[in-house]
Amino acid sequence: PVLLDVNTARITSEHFARLFHEQYGKRSTFVAWHYTPARNLDVWTFWCRIVEQKIAFNPTLQTKDKPARGVFPLCYLKDASSVFIAFGADEEEALMLKQATEESLREPL
């Protein structure tokens, strides 16, 4: 992956995404991005939506035998820019998970 940020000389959200990837998804491709969820959409409603879609990534259920797959909110700020990470078998799957996540974030309560 390529990590770019115009904020030099300080740790940014891209660093946390990379560390999260190293901890939980070493064998997977990942994409991390900023997105502002729909107004008044709380993290639990969002989480339930992606669980129902079977695209949520739960680090506690991760096994060493298979690559990570799914989406996790690294930082969820209601009505503000949030940070998400998607793990996939390849770049195409990671981007598909990102798109599905953004659709869930657009819908208000």
Percent of the chain topping pLDDT 90: 54
Render the burial of 28-53: b for 16+ CB within 10 Å, e for the rest. Answer: bbbbbeeeebeeebeeeebbebbeee
Between CA 46 and CA 74 the distance in angstroms is: 13
Between CA 92 and CA 75 the distance in angstroms is: 23
Between CA 91 and CA 75 the distance in angstroms is: 22
Region 4-24 average pLDDT = 76
Region 36-53 average pLDDT = 92
Q: Report pLDDT for 34.
A: 92
- Please report which confidence band the pLDDT of residue 61 belongs to, taking 50, 70 and 90 as the band edges: confident
Question: Tell me, what DSSP letter sits at residue 31?
Answer: E
